[in-house]
Amino acid sequence: MNGTVVITGAVSGIGLSTSKLFLAKGWNVMMADFNEDLGKKVLEELLAEYSPERLAFQQCDVSSARSVDAMAQATHDSFGHVDSVINNAGIFAKGAVHEIDEDVWDRVMATDVKSIYLTTKAFVPEMIERKSGTIVNTASISGLQGDYNMAVYNAAKGAVVNLVRAMALDYGKYGIRVNNVNPGPTMTPMFRSNPQSVIDEFAQASPLGRLVQPEDIARTMYFLASDESDPITGQNIPVSAGFEI
């Protein structure tokens, strides 16, 4: 199968690598991201290689219903129906519960969790009608374990870890599969903002002695979105160099 995929958080890190892999595999890609300047730059670069019929960028805030609905409309205008949605946009905040400002708590929960509710409302009705489709969420190993100083991120990704099971149960009868990729520390701009000593420490802490690259996550995203992973559904798949075991 190759069709049309919507990827959120598509212009940086894991989302960018995933967008490039789907394009290379022949899919149409709607790249949705909050960052309009970077989005325009990335689109221009990719259009040197791929035709505009296969690729679009839409500025979108995944925590806003209005913005997600506008992105869904733009996707349908560009490509017709959607075969797969990759809910990858996410943000991180540090701190124990009592140290986190209310607006930060709300922003992380809205970007990392509510976004999946919004894109599902926007895209799942057409998948139900066609009785096929895949949804892949970027959770995290931080949803599978507790971490020091990462309370709201643990809460948000923990919610995504169980939401995938509910979605897989509710949509399985329509032939829709829903899975999570749970990255370990991955060398993206988000993670690279740590001091080098912290990055080295994380690498040493994994049994493979390495960090994960965005391309490693992209391959798993592609596997879960495509027919290659049939009949896997409702699963959390750590891609982590064994960091959390």
In this chain, which of 61, 118, 155, 206 binds ligand NAI, going by CB under 6 A? 61
Nearest approach in angstroms of CB 114 to ligand NAI is: 10
Cβ atoms of residues 139 and 182 within 8 Å = yes
Q: Does 83 bind ligand NAI (CB under 6 A)?
A: no
Decide if residue 60 touches ligand NAI (CB under 6 A): yes
CA–CA distances in Å: residue 107 to residues 114, 154, 194: 10, 14, 21
Report the nearest approach of ligand NAI to the CB of residue 106 (Å): 12
3, 90, 158, 238: which one contacts ligand NAI (CB under 6 A)?
Answer: 90
Task: Give the residue with the Cβ less far from ligand NAI, 129 or 200.
Answer: 200
Active site residue: 50, 148, 153, 174, which one? Answer: 153
Closer Cβ to ligand NAI, 12 or 233, answer by number:
12
The smaller minimum CB distance to ligand NAI, of residues 4 and 58, is found at: 58
Beta bridge partners of 150: 95
> How far from 109 is each of 63, 137, 166, CA to CA, in Å?
9, 14, 18
DSSP class of residue 80?
S
CA 18 from centroid of its chain's CA atoms = 9
> Which residues, at least 6 apart from 30, have a Cβ–Cβ distance to it below 8 Å?
4, 5, 6, 7, 56, 57, 58, 71, 74, 75, 78, 79, 82
Active site residue 50: no
Helix (H) or strand (E) holding 55: strand 55-59
The angle formed by the CA atoms of residues 15, 54 and 220, to the nearest 5 degrees, is 35
How many residues make contact with ligand NAI (CB under 6 A)? 29
- Among 222, 233, 228, 231, which residue's Cα sits nearest to residue 26? 222
| 213 interacts with ligand NAI by CB under 6 A | no
x/- contact string, 99-138, with ligand NAI (CB under 6 A)? ------------x--------------------------x
* 9 near ligand NAI (CB under 6 A): yes
Write out the H or E segment, with its range, that includes residue 33.
Answer: strand 28-33
- Coil, strand or helix at 137: strand
What is the Cα gyration radius of the chain? 17
Tell me the closest approach of the beta carbon of residue 172 to ligand NAI, in angstroms.
24
- CB nearer to ligand NAI: give 97 or 198: 198
For the chain, how long is the longest CA-to-CA vector?
Answer: 51
- Find the shortest distance in angstroms from Cβ 34 to ligand NAI: 4
Residue 185 lies near ligand NAI (rule: CB under 6 A)? yes
Binding site for ligand NAI (CB under 6 A): 8-9, 11-15, 33-35, 60-63, 88-92, 111, 138, 140, 183, 185-186, 188-191
Catalytic residues: 153
